[in-house]
Chains A and B, each alone.
Chain A
Amino acid sequence: VRRLREGGSRIDRSRPVDFRFDGREMSGFEGDTLASALLANGVGAGFRSPVLGRPRGVYSAGPEEPNAFVAVLEPSVDLIAAATMVPLTGGLVAESRAGVADLADADASRVRTCRRIHRHVETLIIGAGAAGIEHAQAAAEDGDRVLVVDERPEAVVGVPEGDEITVLARATALGVYDHGYVVIHERSYSGERVWHVRAERVVLATGAHERPIAFAGNDRPGVMLAGAVATYAAMYGVQAGERAVVFVTNDWGVKVAGGLRELGLEVAEVIDARSGSRIVGTRGGARVREIDVRDGDGAERSVEADLVAVNGGFNPVIGLWRAIGGEVRYEAAVSCFVPDRDGPPWLRVVGAAAGELPPSEPLWFVQEGDDSEKFVDLQRDQTVADIARAVEGGLRSVEHVKRATYIGTAVDQGRTSGVLTAEIVNQLLGSDPGAQGPTGARPPSTPVSYAAVAGPDRGMLLDPVRRTPLHSWHVEHGAIFENVGQWKRPWYFPHAGESMDTAVQRECRAVRTAVGIMDASTLGKIEVVGPDAPAFLDRMYTNSMSTLRVGHIRYGLMLGLDGMAFDDGVVMRLAEDRYLVTTTTGGAAKVLDRFEEWLQTEWPDLRVYCTSVTEQWATIAVAGAHARDVVAAAGTDVDLSVEAFPFMTFRDGLVAGLPARTARVSFSGELAYELNVASWHGLAMWEAVVAAGEPFGIEPYGTEAMHVLRAEKGFAIVGQETDGTVTPHDLGMSWIVNDDKGDFVGRRSLRRTDLVRPDRKQLVGLLTEDPEAVLPEGAQIVLEDTGRIPMPMAGHVTSSYPSAVLGRSIALAMVERGRELHGTTVYAPLLEGTIAARVTDPVFYDPEGARRDG
């Protein structure tokens, strides 16, 4: 055992802790990290590099570790972690990993719980070193609530908590964002938490990482960072080797060598680069046994040693600073990049992170020796030779070299390799040190699992699910649902053994030949109320709503300011000063947003209030030749005769004993009644109508049949036929644009040169030559089947279905100059062959509207 006889300020030698690593039972002490315990057990070299499979050992004592990665399997699963960051705990089971997680370790039943916490504090300190503690205590004395986070294990952090100071260990600040918003990932054996902290002041006290020197054979186990060797000796009472050589570029490193001797380690020699001496090679298989040294006078010699402690200076840990746009400058005295200029007023960098570092001479790599043995990024197995190859290949920017070599992209995010790479590139290009800094930094500063970021937002909690008041009936009757925004809508209702096509054809036939019933509750509904409501709606719709009489209904189309179709729906006038506006299912929120925006920002003088009432109402469409019979059979005090209750009007009354607003609107072209009832009466009404409709052969139908039925009638759907580039004129709906009523949103744009081009795409119908062929939606349309690619594309198919009532397929399409092309043949060239189709009017069924009144 390589434990020193005494010392180790962080371990408690009276409390041994048993653990298992790579199948071997071992023992350490409370306060150990897995890395210190492995070194104490003499197995710190039991790792492999991910690409080349070279033997590797523990290299550091902190989060910059590039070699010693493990999967923790007990007491809870952590797919990949640096051994230097894993606190030793009783029953710990870990296995070495070559820097790459193995998903086979993921046991879904044992994945740690992930929670999210929101916290507000006056001062957030990132890093619990000397500078961080000093600032935390000062802030607490000023009365601040203080949160201190540090990514090292609890025993390492050891900050005294006070009433106003909260300390999180094993907590990594993933990113610092605008206005003091910081996201922190906290790990423990019981679970993970992501903290979303808003702080008035953020202090980056993230310290500095030691910088290695790239020399031949520097990846051999036994080569470690000098400060890490000292940490293991002083804090954990562990000697990382029997006989050390110290290779440094500065006085700090020389002092460390002295400290190691005082702690009882044998230090064979200090190789100080400033005297011209260099390590030019290491020997010894899977563990250093001997090093080759070349002195300043050129003399070469060998030194026996199993530990090489290296320090080439320090790099401030400023990834968080740089990710929020903080600038850096090269500071020659400490040969590294330090924060430059002021950042945002709420952010400070202090201590070593701010560049308060011991002076150091620059030495990035040793000239002598084989470049392909001088490792720069240990975790990507990239060497000075790899960088040289990239530079010789013409790459001048460190960013390009990074992308050519993948340096800095591994789990350790280049903590030890980033600055080294930049300076090696500078040197190879003959530039001064600091000419180019390291590559850009962005969050997360350390890899974090999706599960931790998602926290509780998974499964049913990922996104709200909206269900209509009739949902339970649909489930009981075997509906297949489709998602429309957050809504679950019945897509179709298959009978036993039916395919989707068969079910949809049956549902369509029911509506065309008997009667169908559909849940239309998801349609957006907005009450627009106030003395100026008529004038307001006239400005929002292309047609006039002020002339709509009470008790009547009008279809309306809204445009964007750019003149493009935005949303549509029917509008009911409930009273002189009260309208019920309906929107598409997916458009409800954006229509309300738009109403409120215009009312608040352009027309605050209009006395109008808008209220979303979508979920107050259940809406049931009864459609088909027998619709009147069914509503009558359900029992109503409303006179349903055509004369008393014409198309596009509504009546309030009782249906099936329930108060209902019954509207004569139709999206299928058939006689239809839309029953609007309070949401809590929805299910009772639906069941009553289904029961009343049974003798007439009523069938529930879903959104797919609804789409087919409306396509047979040539009704465009905003968002299906349109894509934000389609005007009402393109849709053949010039009849709905009332140019005489005054201004409305989008009106001026309709006169723009581009919107009156004669060659715009226009809505047409397509009938394939082969009535069985169903064009794929999205298929491109060409006017001539030249067989040569490319062909000028004239349009695309927007809707396409087999139609039961027509006994053939139908399609809608947007085609250039489409209305001039009626009667001509166009082509859809597809991978599996070209489909020819005749251009027609988009209304395929009952063009004279004979079925509307039953």
Chain B
Amino acid sequence: MLLIPCPWCGPRDEAEFRYGGQADISYPIDPDALTDEQWADYLFMRDNPRGDFAERWTHAAGCRKWFTVVRSTVTHEIVGSYRVGEEPQA
């Protein structure tokens, strides 16, 4: 079970959180302007990297805040966690 650093509450067990998939997939400004392919790309397609991955979590059984975690998909090592509006250091 991962130990996830909530930027608001500190490190907590994974069981308190819910996963939200890849981070920084913004809702398109004008969905009507997108082709079906572009919309499907937004809706369904996600990266699946080997290595560091920025992903969204929410502290569902805690402060209920959404935030970003950068985690290695190989080792599960967590590089950092960031509040909405904070930028992960590349």
Contacts and interface: CB of A to CB of B under 8 A. Distances in A.
Interface of A: 177-181, 198, 344-345, 561-562, 593, 596-597, 600-602, 604, 743, 747-749, 751-753
Given A600-B65, A602-B27, A749 B77 contact: no
B36 A753 contact: yes
Interface residues of B, number: 28
Interface in B36-90: 36, 39-40, 43, 56, 58, 60, 64-66, 75-78, 84-85
A561 B27 CA distance: 10
A180 B3 CA distance: 8
Contacts of A178: 1-3, 76
B84 A600 contact: yes
Given A198-B3, A743-B31, A752-B40, A179 B84 contact: no
A344 B77 contact: yes
Contact of A597 (B20, B28, B32, B78): B20
A612 to B, nearest CB: 11
9 contacts: A180-B3, A181-B3, A198-B13, A344-B75, A596-B66, A743-B32, A748-B28, A748-B32, A752-B36
A748 B31 contact: yes
B31 A747 contact: yes
With most chain A CB atoms within 10 A of its CB, the pick from B13, B20, B85 is B13
A345 B77 contact: yes
Contacts, number: 56
Contacts of A604: 84-85
A601 B43 contact: no
B36 A596 contact: no
Nearest to A597: B66
A179 B2 contact: yes
Interface of B: 1-3, 13, 18, 20, 26-28, 31-32, 34, 36, 39-40, 43, 56, 58, 60, 64-66, 75-78, 84-85
A561 B43 contact: yes
Nearest to B27: A602
CB-based closest 10 A-B pairs: A748-B31, A179-B3, A600-B66, A181-B1, A178-B76, A602-B27, A601-B66, A178-B2, A177-B1, A748-B39
Contact of A179 (B27, B28, B64, B76): B76
Nearest to A598: B27
A601 B34 contact: no
B2 A749 contact: no
B66 to A, nearest CB: 5
Contacts of B26: 602
A198 B18 CA distance: 20
Nearest to A601: B66
Contacts of B32: 743, 748
A180 B26 CA distance: 34
A510 B39 CA distance: 50
A181 B14 CA distance: 11
Contacts of B78: 179
Contacts of B36: 751-753
A593 B66 CA distance: 10
B84 A749 contact: no
Contacts of B18: 593
B43 A179 contact: no
Contacts of B13: 181, 198
B1 A601 contact: no
A345 B77 CA distance: 9
Nearest to A747: B31
A558 to B, nearest CB: 16
A748 B78 CA distance: 35
Contacts of B28: 748
A601 B84 contact: yes
Contacts of B43: 561-562, 749
Given A562-B43, A752-B39, 13 more contacts: A177-B1, A178-B1, A179-B1, A181-B1, A198-B3, A593-B18, A596-B58, A601-B56, A604-B84, A743-B31, A748-B28, A748-B39, A753-B36
Contacts of A561: 43
A600 B56 CA distance: 12
Nearest to A604: B84
A593 B2 contact: no
B41 to A, nearest CB: 12
A597 B3 CA distance: 22
B14 to A, nearest CB: 8
Contacts of A597: 20, 58, 66
Contacts of B65: 600
A748 B20 CA distance: 21
B16 to A, nearest CB: 13
Contacts of A596: 58, 64, 66
A841 B22 CA distance: 43
A743 B56 CA distance: 24
Contacts of A198: 3, 13
Contacts of A345: 77
A178 B32 CA distance: 43
A656 B13 CA distance: 49
A180 B77 CA distance: 11
Contacts of B60: 593
Contacts of B31: 743, 747-748
B27 A749 contact: no
Nearest to A602: B27
Nearest to A563: B43
A562 B36 CA distance: 12
Highest count of chain B CB atoms <10 Å: which of A178, A562, A596: A178
Contacts of A177: 1
A749 B39 contact: yes
B81 to A, nearest CB: 13
A69 B30 CA distance: 69
A850 to B, nearest CB: 41
Most chain A CB inside 10 Å of its own CB: which residue of B20, B26, B27, B28: B27
Nearest to A753: B36
A597 B84 CA distance: 11
A593 B28 CA distance: 21
